[in-house]
Each structure stands twice: as structure tokens, then as C-alpha cells.
Amino acid sequence: MVAVLPEPPLLVPELATGAAAETAQLRAACLAAVARLAAAAPRWIAVGADAGGRRTVPPSARGSFIGFGVDVGAALDTTGTGAADPTDPHLPLPLLVAGWAAGQVRARVRIRGELVAPDAPPAACAAVGADLAAECAADQGSVALLVLGDGAATHTERAPGHLDERAAPFDAAASAALRDADAAALAALDPDLAVDLLVAGRAPWQVLAGAAVGRGWRGELLHSSAPFGVAYHVAVWTPR
């Protein structure tokens, strides 16, 4: 099983403050997706993009949103059975969101982070995805994927990247691919255009595309919006 989430710090109510109402539906969709993931598998592989590049982060890692203004903790191991590392204030955002979301639904899971560079070529993303698919198949359903990343940050003049008219068709294509579990459409997303549009999710989505090859999936788009000029998509894929 796969859940696809965005990674805005504003998902965390303590950080949202005055924007909590605007993010309520998004937050509810994210927690619904991770609750389903928790019911499906006790171990998750969280896939995200980070400037530090390709690397693996073990389940013992834990961090805090203190860098975003509030000391809200997030642990990758929510089982309470393993030794935890000291809190890392620089734990990458997608992993902070993964741990926070698991804690919010009281999931008892162990999450391993698999990070790729934001500008990783589609072929490299596909290769990572193929390796993860092989691992999930070998573990016979005990591992699920949690894929994290935002869409274009250029949907309005007040967006982080200001308005770019190409953002709307880009995210329409991305959301349709997530809705339809269309791995080929995700793989076809233009990495250069994604850079122009400040898309954080392109590389992780293309890891998902690589992981999905060779298997039938049923997609559900639980949420898609751009409340602050940044596109946020929430989806669940289940194997047929």
C-alpha cells in the first residue's frame, strides 16, 4: 500500500495558528491516509526529497519542528520498543511530517527514511523505486510506502514563487496521476519545469512511479488544494 502526503509544516496545528481553519480539511485527509497505512503495515518507508541528497535515515531517528518555530517532536519509531537517537533539530521536513502524522493517529510503526535529492534525475528516482518495490515484495505486505512532497509553489502572486501560469496544468496532471495510480504519468513529469515551479514532490513521486511498475494499483485522491498558493495532494494507492 502507498500513501502520498504533502509536507507543509502548517499541517501541525501548533504551527498553523491563524491558518488552522484553512488547513483543517488537508490535515484530516492526511491523517485519514496514514491511518489506513497503519492498518495495512507495521513498517513504513518514507520517501522524500532533501538537499542533503540520497541517503537512508534509520527508524531510531527523531526530530523537532523547532526550526519552524515550535518545539513539536516527531519520532520515526512510534512502537515504544526501540532505542531512540537524540533529537535532531535538522531532521529533514518530510521525515518530520511522517513521524508527526504517525503519532497523530497513534500508529505503532517503524519508519525508515529514504531521501533523494530534489533534482534527482527521473531515471535515478525510478531506480530507487525499483529497489524499494523489490524490498516490499520480499517482505510480503509488511512494508508500506509513505511518499511526501508538495506540488507547485507558484499558484498565486502571494505564493513562495509568485504566480506562474504553468503551475495549474502541472498540478492538474500530477493530481490526475495520483488519482488514477498512473505511474507512467508521474514518471513523465518534467523535472526542469518542476524546478521552475518549486515543486518539492517531483522526485519522490517519480520514486513512487518506479516502485509501482509491473503491478496493478487502484488510486484514490483524498484531497487536492492550493490554499496558500502551494499545491497539496493526498492520495492512497492500494494493490489490485
C-alpha cell of residue 207: 520514486
Share of the chain above pLDDT 70, in %: 100
Separation of alpha carbons 102 and 111, rounded Å: 9
Query: Taking the CB of residue 168, how many other CB atoms lie within 10 A of it?
Result: 15
The single-letter code of the amino acid at 109 is V
Average pLDDT over residues 39-68: 97
Query: Taking the CB of residue 218, how many other CB atoms lie within 10 A of it?
Result: 11
Per the prediction, the chain carries an average pLDDT of: 95
Instruction: Write out pLDDT tens, residues 125-155.
Output: 999 999 999 998 888 779 999 999 999 999 9
Average pLDDT over residues 74-86: 89
Domain 2-239 has CATH 3.40.830.10: yes
Which band of pLDDT confidence, cut at 50, 70 and 90, is reported for residue 79? very high
| pLDDT computed for residue 223 by the predictor | 98
Which band of pLDDT confidence, cut at 50, 70 and 90, is reported for residue 202? very high
| pLDDT computed for residue 80 by the predictor | 85
Query: Taking the CB of residue 69, how many other CB atoms lie within 10 A of it?
Result: 12
C-alpha cell of residue 204: 519522490
| pLDDT computed for residue 83 by the predictor | 77
Which band of pLDDT confidence, cut at 50, 70 and 90, is reported for residue 181? very high
| pLDDT computed for residue 17 by the predictor | 79
Distances, alpha carbon 171 to alpha carbons 50, 67, 99, 117, 231, in Å: 21, 28, 26, 21, 7
pTM of the predicted structure, to 2 decimals:
0.96
Instruction: Write out pLDDT tens, residues 5-46.
Output: 999 999 999 998 777 678 899 999 999 999 999 999 999 999
